[in-house]
Amino acid sequence: MEIEKKLKILADSAKYDASCSSSGSKRTNHKDGFGNADVSGICHSWGADGRCISLLKILLSNACIYDCKYCVNRCSNSIPRATFTPREVAELTMNFYKRNYIEGLFLSSAVIKNPDYTMERLYETVLLLRQEYHFHGYIHVKTIPGCSKELIDKLGKLVDRTSINIELPSQTSLKLLAPQKEKAGIIAPMQYISQQIHTSSQEKSKWKEKFVPAGQTTQLMIGASPETDYTIMTLSESLYKKMHLKRVYYSAYVSINQDALLPALPQPPLLRENRLYQADWLLRFYGFTVDELLDQNHPNFNTLLDPKCDWALRHLEKFPVEVNTADYATLLRVPGIGVISAKRIITARREFHLNFENLKKLGIVLKRARYFITCDGKYFDKISSFQESFIEENLLYLERASTPASTYIQTSLFDTFLPTKEDKIKSLTGAF
C-alpha cells in the first residue's frame, strides 16, 4: 500500500485521542543527533477543529483483535485496515521533524495478536528512531493494557511520556462497553510506571536514562456512559494523588458506532468537556478539591457558569477579598484571577499600594474579579451591591456574551440577554 494511504488510515484512527502536549521533558540533543525537547512544549499547527497539532499522532496498526463498543477500530467495524513498518514510521517522523512540521511522535496502536506482541512492535519502532536515526525529539508512546513489566521497563527508558487510556470512568461501564479489557490490566501498569518514575528520580545515579521524564497521562471519555461529573472528577483527583499523573484528558464522545448500548448523541458534549477541563485546572493549579466543587446533591457542573464562579457564588462569605493583604492561596480563589495575575499582584504590591486603576495597568482582567475584591477596603460599586443576585446576574451576562451562540440557543434580536427566572433557579440548584 502507498505510504500516503496508510498515513490517511492510521491518522484517521488515531485522531480521537485528545492528548497532544509536548511539554515536560528537557531531553537535550547529542553530538550526532537530531532534535531536542522543549520543556514548555511547542504547538506546530492547529487543525480545523481548533485542536493543536504538535506530534505526529498515528497508530502503528489499526487491525484490532478487541471489540470495544465505542471504538472506531473495533474488529466488528468494516473500515480499511493498515499497518506501518517501524522503518516507515521512522522515515516519516524524521522527515516531518526536519521540516519543523512536528515536535515529535505520538505512537499508539490497536492490539495486534496480543498485548505483548503489540508492545514489542512499538518498542522496535522507538528503538530504531532513537538508535539508528539518533532522534532526540519528543516521543509519546501508548502503553498497551495487559503487557509485561519488562517491556514497560525497556520502553520507559526511551520515551518522554507514556499513557494508558482508562476511557470508561467506572468498572460497570468498562464491563458493558469494553468486555475484553479488565480494570486490573489498566490500573496495574499505571501503578508500576508511577512507581518506576518515582524510583528513577530518587536513585538518579543508578539510572542512566530517566524513566518517562515527562510523566504519564490518561484519557476519560465523556458522554458514552452514564457517570456524573462528580464520579469523573473524583476519579481524576485520585489519579493525580495516587498515581501522580501529569494530565487527565477528557474527550467528548463522538457517536461513531451504532450500538444499542451506546447513546446516540447528535453532537459531542463539548460544553461538558470544557467544564471538566476548567475543574481539572482548579484541582491541579488552584488548590481546590473535588468535594468543594461538587457533591452528591450537585453531581454535575453548572452549564451556565464556570466551576470557579459557581463555587465563589456559593461561598460569598469568603468574599470580598482585600487584594493588598490577601495571601496567594486566597487570591487564587478569586474568579478571574489566575496563577499569573496572582503572582503579579504579589510582586507589585511589595512596592506600591494597589487600587483598581493599578490593577488594570498590571493587566489583571477585572471583568469577573471586580465583583469579588476590594482595594484598600473599597468595592468597585456601592458596597451594598455585594449581593448574590447582583453578582450572579452580571456573571451570567458575561458568560453568555463570551460563549459562541451555537453552544447555547441561536440569539436573535428578540432574545433577552439577561437570564430568565428559571435560569437563575437552575444555576442555584444545579438541577438540569
Give yes or no for residue 369 binding other proteins (CB under 8 A).
no
- Please give the Cα distance from 291 to 298 (Å, whole number): 10
Residues 271/229, Cβ–Cβ less than 8 Å: no
x-or-dash string of contact with other proteins, 75-114, rule CB under 8 A: -----------------x--xx-xxxx-x-----------
Which residue of 26, 51, 149, 198 would you call a contact of other proteins, by CB under 8 A? 51
x-or-dash string of contact with other proteins, 212-251, rule CB under 8 A: ----------------------------------------
x-or-dash string of contact with other proteins, 269-298, rule CB under 8 A: -x----------------------------
Closest CA to 194 of 243, 248, 153, 160: 243
Which CB sits closer to other proteins, 48 or 409? 48
Residues 120/46, Cβ–Cβ less than 8 Å: no
The interface with other proteins within residues 297-316 (CB under 8 A) comprises: none
Which CB sits closer to other proteins, 11 or 339? 11
Give yes or no for residue 263 binding other proteins (CB under 8 A).
no
Which CB sits closer to other proteins, 268 or 299? 268
Which CB sits closer to other proteins, 82 or 193? 82
The interface with other proteins within residues 5-24 (CB under 8 A) comprises: 7-8, 11-12, 14-16
Residues 233/178, Cβ–Cβ less than 8 Å: no
296: which strand partners? none
Closest CA to 72 of 219, 271, 259: 259
Give yes or no for residue 171 binding other proteins (CB under 8 A).
no
- Please give the Cα distance from 99 to 254 (Å, whole number): 32
The interface region with other proteins, picked from 177-185, 217-225, 292-300, 346-354 by CB under 8 A, is 346-354
Residues 314/297, Cβ–Cβ less than 8 Å: no
In 93-246, at which residue ranges do the beta strands (DSSP E only) sit? 104-108, 138-142, 161-163, 216-222
Instruction: Give least dist CB 112 to other proteins, A.
Output: 21
3-state SS, residue 238: helix
Give yes or no for residue 158 binding other proteins (CB under 8 A).
no
How far lies 377's CA from each of 170, 176, 380, 391, in Å?
A: 48, 57, 10, 18
How many C-beta neighbours within 10 Å does residue 322 have?
Answer: 15
Residue type, 317: E
The interface with other proteins within residues 25-44 (CB under 8 A) comprises: 29, 32, 34-36, 38, 40, 42-44
Give yes or no for residue 410 binding other proteins (CB under 8 A).
no
In 192-246, at which residue ranges do the beta strands (DSSP E only) sit? 216-222
Number of residues lying near other proteins (CB under 8 A): 56
Which residue of 170, 231, 268, 428 would you call a contact of other proteins, by CB under 8 A? 268
- Give the chain's length: 432
The interface region with other proteins, picked from 123-131, 326-334, 360-368, 392-400 by CB under 8 A, is 360-368
Q: Considering only the C-alpha atoms of the chain, give the largest distance between any 2 of them, rounded to a whole number of Å.
A: 73
Which CB sits closer to other proteins, 40 or 205? 40
Phi, psi of 25 (to 5 degrees): -120, 140
Instruction: Give least dist CB 277 to other proteins, A.
Output: 14
Which CB sits closer to other proteins, 185 or 268? 268
Give yes or no for residue 50 binding other proteins (CB under 8 A).
yes
Give yes or no for residue 351 binding other proteins (CB under 8 A).
yes
Relative to beta strand 52-53, strand 45-46 is: antiparallel
Which residue of 77, 274, 303, 358 would you call a contact of other proteins, by CB under 8 A? 358
- For residue 220, count CB atoms less than 10 angstroms from its CB and return exposed for 0-12, middle for 13-18, buried for 19 or more: buried
Residues 66/72, Cβ–Cβ less than 8 Å: no
Which residue of 65, 75, 254, 398 would you call a contact of other proteins, by CB under 8 A? 254
How far lies 401's CA from each of 118, 311, 367, 391, 406, in Å?
A: 49, 20, 12, 15, 12
Instruction: Give least dist CB 16 to other proteins, A.
Output: 7
Is the peptide bond between 86 and the residue preceding it cis, with omega within 30 degrees of 0? no
Which CB sits closer to other proteins, 99 or 206? 99
DSSP H or E segment with residue 75? none
Query: Site residues (CB under 8 A) for other proteins?
Result: 3-4, 7-8, 11-12, 14-16, 29, 32, 34-36, 38, 40, 42-54, 56-57, 92, 95-96, 98-101, 103, 252, 254, 267-268, 270, 344, 347-348, 350-352, 354, 358, 361-363, 404
